[in-house]
Amino acid sequence: MQFIVKKALAATLFCFICTNISQAQSSLLPQGHKFEALLNRIDILMPGHIGYTKTVYRKDAMEVIQKADSLSKLGELELSAVDQAYIRSFYLNNQEWYDTDDPDFASKKPIFKTFYKDKANFFEVDQKDFYLAVNPILQYQQNKEFDNDKNVFLNTRGVQLRGLIAEKVGFDATIMENQERGPDYFHRWIADHNATPGVGFYKRFKTTAVDYFDARGSIHFGATKYIKLQFGYDKLFVGNGYRSLFLSDFGNSYLFFKINTRIWKFDYTNLFTELVPQTIHINAGNKILDKKYMAMHRLSLQATRWLNIGVFEAISFGRKNHFEFSYLNPVMFLRAAEQQVGSGDNAMVGLDAKINIAKKVQLYGQLLFNEFKIKELTSGNGWWGNKFGIQAGAKYINAFGVKNLDLQGEVNLVRPFNYSHYDSAANFTHYNQPLAHPSGANFAELIGIARYQPHPKWTMQAIAIYWAQGIDLTPADNVGSNIFKLYNTRSMGDYGYKLPSGPLAKSLYVNAYVGYEVRENIFLETQLSLRNQKMPNDINMNSTLISLGLRMNMFRRLYDY
């Protein structure tokens, strides 16, 4: 109780101090926002302006998009008609940072003269020193899974809000109530992990479905012109790829404090999080879950207009429900701090890069090291302690001269025992789910994506993911794929670990999607998903899913794992 009071007092003092020193600030664009493709395209057409587009501030995105719009009007940047339409939509959806009073944004017939005064926001307040936008959330899918006599569905309702106070304090919140019965492998995931993919606590719904609450929120401050602070409960993503080997938005949300410093050509992020370790009886209720923690630093340098390079470090650790304050130093190497405190915490370091070529192609990659020895690596003996991951990918926009046809290819390789630890509280996980790649470790993955927008209202996308992963045939086995298992319980000794290693499961996931934007932020969607998995005992587990749905003001629910 005393520790909780101290945390509450510290948070209150932090908010009071930041409110009195803050500069202009905004909220982040939400997970899965519809402008990801536009920002990715502009990042290639106009390199050197956008960092990591999946978690970008609205104000920063507005500055970049307005610059691209201006260059296009001057004839110095070629944007397609679809790009220009999406720029208009971005202005409409971020009017707190768009100075022009555009009459085209106003609705012809507001509801009760109060709701939907403009085409994007259900309810909006725009006064001096105060801005507020409130929007309903809805996602309803009816699915048919072949060889499954149960009704497969998703029903999400909620509300989303964001606001500004004197352009110094930004805030956002999303609250969603969900009932879901997914495909068969979705429920196998729940049984294996004791958690619903992407969320935390859940309850049973109608025997074979799940009911869960997804609530997120953050408050944002500008400490100085160059330093931004965020305190909230949400999920973040680090990287340029479809997957991330550093930190992904696949799993459950978590409590965090983030410091982002951008000056000259440097972009430096400090992230401090409170997580939940593996818990077996997580659905029992009426119990306080234990805590563990993670600290992360990432520094990037825009070396040239076409080259961005970065270094990453993170440490995941468990204490008896208290933070290791040595890891709060925002400029000290975490590995050095770990050695000084004499602990055996789970430290990782990484490198990443992004290269833009001819305003058409972007190459990107991540290299993550958990532990390795050069001598063991060059010997080729498959030492278990060579734990690392590699990502390599490419994006090609306006492919083969076709406007708004964008292609992406990506390879992810993660060695056995990466992300795991000899202390179960220090593995790189949160609430029974991985913090990085959803497959954990000991796998090789190949991803191909084709996205085409022939018209601003139509979006078509095809994605194929193939992966091979070594798996444990019995609970006593440990070949390095299950990152929740202790790495000192490995079942193959010290040597002989390949990539992937052990009995192989080979999986293929294919999804074809077509969406039509009926009106601003309201989509009618249909998709076909195929998932084939061949287990080492020659048992095939296949799923074919046809879906029809309506989505409003939220991200798509995906089953791509």
- Using left for φ > 0, alpha for ψ between -120 and 50, and beta otherwise, residue 19 falls in alpha
pLDDT, one tens digit per residue, over 138-161 is 999 999 999 888 999 999 999 999
Evaluate whether residue 112 is within a structural domain.
no
For residue 331, pLDDT over 80 is answered with no
Q: What percent of the chain has pLDDT over 70?
A: 92
Q: Give me the domain span that covers residue 175.
A: 2-105+117-552
Specify which residues 212 forms β-bridges with. Answer: 178, 202
Count of domains forming the chain: 1
The answer to whether residue 353 sits within a structural domain is yes
CB 190 within 8 A of CB 212: no
Residue 23 has a pLDDT of 66
Closest among 557, 558, 546 to 138, alpha carbons compared? 557
Q: Is the peptide bond before 434 cis (omega within 30 degrees of 0)?
A: no
pLDDT for 18 beyond 90 = no
Q: Give the E-state strand segments of 473-539 in sequence order.
A: 504-519, 522-534
* Per-residue model confidence (pLDDT) at position 55: 81
The pLDDT score that the predictor gives to residue 84 is 97
User: Taking all residues of the chain, what is their mean pLDDT, rounded to a whole number?
Assistant: 90
Q: Predicted confidence band at 470 (pLDDT cuts at 50, 70, 90)?
A: very high
Q: Assess whether pLDDT exceeds 90 at residue 341.
A: no
- pLDDT value at residue 11: 46
Please give the structure tokens belonging to residue 416. Answer: 């056995």
Residue labelled with tokens 């049973």: 204
pLDDT tens across 287-298, in order? 788 899 999 999
Average pLDDT over residues 504-514: 97
pLDDT value, residue 19 = 45
- Residue 333: predicted pLDDT: 75
Residue 49 has a pLDDT of 72
Of 494, 462, 492, nearest to 476 (Cα)?
A: 492
- Compute, in degrees rounded to 10, the torsion defined by CA atoms 6, 12, 15, 16: -120
Length of the chain as a residue count: 561
pLDDT at 322: 73
CATH number at residue 297: 2.40.160.10
pLDDT over 80 (residue 401)? yes
Over residues 269-296, the mean pLDDT reads 83
In a domain, 381, yes or no: yes
Q: Which amino acid is at 99?
A: D
Tell me the two tokens of residue 455. 């018209």
For 298-326, the pLDDT digits (tens) are 999 999 999 999 999 999 998 776 777 77
pLDDT value of position 537: 81
Q: Is the pLDDT of residue 410 over 80?
A: yes
Q: pLDDT band at 343, cuts 50/70/90?
A: low
* Rounded Cα distance, 525 and 453, in Å: 14
CB 341 within 8 A of CB 317: no
**Cα–Cα nearest to 359, from 49, 106, 6, 104:** 49
446 against 381, higher pLDDT:
446
pLDDT of residue 53: 60
Q: What is the DSSP string of 105-127?
A: GB-SS-BTTTB-SBSS-SEEEEE
Beta bridge partners of 352: 310, 366
Whether residue 143 is contained in a domain is answered as: yes
Give mean pLDDT, residues 178-204. 93
Residue 386 domain-assigned (yes or no): yes
Identify the burial level of 123 via C-beta atoms within 10 angstroms of its C-beta, where 0-12 means exposed, 13-18 middle and 19 or more buried: middle
Distance between first and last Cα of the chain: 39
Whose tokens are 């536009």? That residue is 38
Q: Per the domain annotation, does 561 fall within a domain?
A: no
User: How far is residue 56 from each of residues 235, 324, 536, 557, measured CA to CA in Å?
Assistant: 13, 29, 42, 21
CA-to-CA distance for 157 and 176, rounded, in angstroms? 6
Is the predicted pLDDT of residue 8 greater than 90, yes or no? no
pLDDT, average across residues 497-526: 96
User: Does an H or E element contain 187, and which?
Assistant: helix 184-193
Report pTM.
0.92
- Alpha carbon distance 458, 460 (integer Å): 7
Residue 338 neighbours by CB under 8 Å, 6+ apart: 315, 327, 345, 347
Query: Which phi and psi (to 5°) does residue 203 adopt?
Result: -125, 160
Residue 560 lies in a domain: no
Q: What is the DSSP letter of 11?
A: H
Average pLDDT over residues 487-507: 93
The Cα–Cα gap between 407 and 396 comes to 5
Higher pLDDT, 320 or 469: 469
- Tokens (6 digits) for 60: 């920063």
Residue 559 lies in a domain: no
